[in-house]
Structure 1
Amino acid sequence: MRFINRKYKDSVFTDLFGSDRDGKKNFLDLYNALSGSDYKLEDVTMERKVIEQSLYKTYNNDVSWMIDGRLVVLVEHQSTVNNNMPFRCLEYVTRIYETIVPIDRRYAQKVYKIPNPDFYVVYVGKDSMPCEQELRLSDAFYEKDSSRLDLVVKVKNCTDPKLLPIAKNCAILEEYCRFIEIVESTYSRRFPRSSFKKAIEKAVSEGILSDYLSRKTREVTNMLCAKYDYKMDIAVKQEEAFEDGMEKGLKKGIAQNAVENAKNALALNLPVEQVSQITGLPIEEVLRLQTESHGR
């Protein structure tokens, strides 16, 4: 059973390794490179798994396939990897299992077998990252113990020279990483759509994802626009939050300063009305401060 939420937009990664006509082959090639396995497309049974709950709010950056009874979840990152990814993957895989296990079988005495999961984060960003690392759900628990509940996400830095064989063993990943570099280098905040078209033209001319980009020029342009709109929205919200915090802090500082000035003026026995005029505090507030000072 497939649940698709059309409000979410696919990223190029999700489309290339999932929805596209060659998505199945591309995904299998990438999984082989990441896991060291040697699955052949003609020898395996594969089924795409799509659910409503994306790991991101605005666009899908994840893709999942069942490969011979194994559930593989790949998530792409172009910025710093989120350390809460194990918990988010737990939510994600639970939703997938809900589509696999029939409701009536969940209460049966006989065990209903479910596929073994594999979780990977494919990092293709520019930040300094370890060559490989594992993120564990158990690291988020209050107490470090041998908990029986755990989920491991393997993070692969596919732009690290030490992991270059991963890209070399997966031509589609190598081309995808190169395409992302071209997009980043040609991106124009003022003219985003035209810069994306320019990036696509450059990639095709260099033989990078040429078949895919030639077939889906408009779709890829729209996907890139959606992604960069999301990134811009996050950046603007962060900037607004910072400015709001600065403004609140400034107002708080001014208010505290006015109170201290009022206390000093009252200590000099200045009239309440005059203290109010000097500090800008309401007369009621000055009277309250005066009462407090007399009570000490």
Structure 2
Amino acid sequence: MYKDTIFRLLFKDDKKALLDLYNAINHSNYVNPDDLIITTLENAIFMGIKNDLSFIIDTHLNIYEHQSTKCPNMPLRCLFYVSTLYSQLIDQNLLYRSTKIDICEPHFIMFYNGKEEMPEKMTYKLSDLYMNKSENPDLELIVKVYNINKGMNPDLMKSCKKLEEYSLFVAKVREYANSMPMYKAIPKAIDYCIEHDILRDFLIKERKTIIMYSLFEYDQAEHMKDIAEVNRLEGIKEGKKEGINDTTELFSWLKSNGRASDVLTAIDDSDFLSQLFAEYETWKNVNFLFF
């Protein structure tokens, strides 16, 4: 999802922003970004899901995950993440010695900004996944969940400007997506936010990257809902929808043929986009004859 990508881009390489986020969550006042040691699992993929952010500050290991949907399985995912992190951070030869190993205390945070209603704050527990849960389970892992949709957790937003502006950006994308397909809503929201000084520098720098990821990553089911809604608004019968209207399908075809640069050009050039649609439709018709 485009939101996950933007969230990672915002905080992954910006220690100052990540420190502000940590301070906002923990009501702390650390001032030196170099106090952070980034430990994000860059190349670790569990069940197709990549770890978003993890870092050490003082003696605490923090694992931050972003979600656009409810995720009661988050504690299990975090269990995989933290065990992998410990295995990377600790010399495993020390495990068999008689002396105690000092380890960082882990903390697990999930930031939620999906469309389904969620309280401002809640928790997910690993024990809630157990088939037969005992009164005092031997293994527990608790994930604190913060709803970061616009209007939620105002104190948290006030303490972390980047998080607040990210929330405003997502809200603006949703507003535009109510009347247009996502491939148009995201660039329009970016332009609006740049004009109104919302994540301005970040969006100027990462504009094409964000749009590129958004076109290839966001949920296909959501995309089809967008297409259906646009067709309805334009008076087009849903039963007549064809592949030519499916922008995600077109861009995937371009990408698979080594033409990702054409995607970037089409983002800002509607005439060129129309040409690509025509080319793609011709290609489909030719291949249909042979297959």
TM range (shorter): 0.5 to 0.7
1-structure distance, mates of 2:178, 2:46: 27
Number of the residue aligned with 1:29: 20
Residue 217 of structure 2: which of 227, 231, 240 is its match? 227
String of CA shifts for 1:212-231, please: whole Å, max 9, x gaps: 11111111112222331xx1
Number of the residue aligned with 2:79: 90
How far residue 184 of structure 1 moved from its aligned partner, in angstroms, is 2.2
Number of the residue aligned with 1:122: 111
Residue 18 of structure 1: which of 12, 15, 25 is its match? 12
Q: Describe the shift of the 1:149–1:104 C-alpha distance in structure 2 as closer, same or farther (beyond 3 A).
A: same
The aligned amino acid for 2:102 is: K
Q: Residues 109 and 143 of structure 2 are in contact (CA less than 8 Å); yes or no, is this contact kept in structure 1?
A: yes
**Residues 203-282 of structure 1: matches in 2 within 5 Å?**
203-228=193-218, 231-232=219-220
String of CA shifts for 1:218-257, please: whole Å, max 9, x gaps: 11112222331xx116888xxxxxxxxxxxxxxxxxxxxx
- What is the root-mean-square deviation of aligned Cα atoms in Å? 2.7
SS at match of 1:180: helix
How far residue 209 of structure 1 moved from its aligned partner, in angstroms, is 0.4
Q: Residues 200 and 213 of structure 1 are in contact (CA less than 8 Å); yes or no, is this contact kept in structure 2?
A: yes
What TM-score comes out, normalization by structure 2 length?
A: 0.68
SS at match of 2:61: strand
2-structure distance, mates of 1:190, 1:207: 23
What TM-score comes out, normalization by structure 1 length?
A: 0.67
Aligned length: 221
Q: Residues 18 and 24 of structure 1 are in contact (CA less than 8 Å); yes or no, is this contact kept in structure 2?
A: yes
String of CA shifts for 1:244-271, please: whole Å, max 9, x gaps: xxxxxxxxxxxxxxxxxxxxxxxxxxxx
Of the structure 1 ranges 32-41 and 210-219, higher mean CA displacement relative to structure 2 is found in: 32-41
Number of the residue aligned with 2:38: 47
Residue 126 of structure 2: which of 126, 132, 137 is its match? 137
Percent identity among equivalent residues? 29
1-structure distance, mates of 2:18, 2:34: 15
Larger Rg: 1
Of the structure 1 ranges 103-112 and 209-218, higher mean CA displacement relative to structure 2 is found in: 103-112
Number of the residue aligned with 2:52: 62
Residue 174 of structure 2: which of 157, 181, 184 is its match? 184
Number of the residue aligned with 1:282: none
Q: Residues 32 and 38 of structure 1 are in contact (CA less than 8 Å); yes or no, is this contact kept in structure 2?
A: yes
Q: Describe the shift of the 1:153–1:139 C-alpha distance in structure 2 as closer, same or farther (beyond 3 A).
A: same
The aligned amino acid for 2:133 is: E
Is 1:104 aligned with 2:93?
A: yes
Q: Residues 64 and 72 of structure 1 are in contact (CA less than 8 Å); yes or no, is this contact kept in structure 2?
A: yes
Of the structure 1 ranges 169-178 and 213-222, higher mean CA displacement relative to structure 2 is found in: 213-222
SS at match of 2:77: helix
Number of the residue aligned with 1:273: none
Q: Residues 150 and 171 of structure 2 are in contact (CA less than 8 Å); yes or no, is this contact kept in structure 1?
A: no
Number of the residue aligned with 2:154: 164
String of CA shifts for 1:148-175, please: whole Å, max 9, x gaps: 3111100112237462111111110010
